[in-house]
Chain A
Amino acid sequence: QKEVEQDPGPLSVPEGAIVSLNCTYSNSAFQYFMWYRQYSRKGPELLMYTYSSGNKEDGRFTAQVDKSSKYISLFIRDSQPSDSATYLCAMLADAGGTSYGKLTFGQGTILTVHP
């Protein structure tokens, strides 16, 4: 079983839709949770960053972490064609863990927002 599971999609939505992306994980040592966006032929770009459980909002993007369920989500409101990309969840263990500094990624979800 993978440490981080993410539905690869692909996901296709109309412009203006609310998009929900999710990851589950099994390693309880993960404390830092990130969402990266990756456009074609580009490297992953940090989109959202959350420490421990809770919600974080940045413009049209909201990240949620539920550590009790080992479940994280990214919501995109009023989705735009420019949001079309691959979205990767990533997690980082606490500094005292054996996986020092190593990001563990989900497979990535391919999102297409059509006009």
Chain B
Amino acid sequence: EAQVTQNPRYLITVTGKKLTVTCSQNMNHEYMSWYRQDPGLGLRQIYYSMNVEVTDKGDVPEGYKVSRKEKRNFPLILESPSPNQTSLYFCASSLSAGGGQPQHFGDGTRLSIL
């Protein structure tokens, strides 16, 4: 089954404790992206990757890091999480960035930073 898989689905942690949210897709997609969803603000892009070893900032990259060492994986790293990063996070992928390819989303990771 074609899917985008995120782990963990839920995480409660404390300020300053490094964490990684994993994202994996099995569709051989080139383009992958991270979004956060907040009430009243909708979904906003954090980082994206157009292919292996090619990443760039989205609209709200502060406090986050990403890497793309393999085509299928695109982890999101919070080196020193803070309470304002408490949010619902989604990973998405599409065949490519161009040509208006629709993006497919994972089921989300709810992070609470205390």
Complex: how many Å from CA A102 to CA B105?
Answer: 13
Q: From B105, which residue of chain A is reached at the shortest CB distance?
A: A43
- Are the CB atoms of A44 and B102 closer together than 8 Å? no
- Are the CB atoms of A44 and B43 closer together than 8 Å? yes
Q: How many residues of A are in contact with the other chain, CB < 8 A?
A: 26
- Are the CB atoms of B4 and A43 closer together than 8 Å? yes
Choose from B4, B58, B101 the contact partner of A102 (Cβ within 8 Å).
B58
| In the complex, chain A residues whose CB is within 8 Å of the CB of B103 | 46, 103
Q: A101-B31, A101-B97 are in contact. Are A88 and B106 (CB under 8 A)?
A: no
| In the complex, chain B residues whose CB is within 8 Å of the CB of A75 | none
User: B interface, how many residues as a size bin?
Assistant: 20 to 34
Q: From B38, which residue of chain A is reached at the shortest CB distance?
A: A107
Complex: how many Å from CA A106 to CA B42?
Answer: 6
* Chain A interface residues toward B at CB < 8 A: 6, 8, 31-32, 34, 36, 41-46, 49, 51, 88, 90, 92, 95, 100-103, 105-108
* Chain B interface residues toward A at CB < 8 A: 4, 31, 33, 35, 40-45, 48, 50, 58-59, 90, 92, 94, 96-108
Q: From A44, which residue of chain B is reached at the shortest CB distance?
A: B105
| In the complex, chain A residues whose CB is within 8 Å of the CB of B108 | 41-43
- Are the CB atoms of A32 and B100 closer together than 8 Å? yes
Report the minimum CB–CB distance from B72 to chain A (whole Å).
17
Complex: how many Å from CA A42 to CA B58?
Answer: 23
| In the complex, chain A residues whose CB is within 8 Å of the CB of B96 | 101
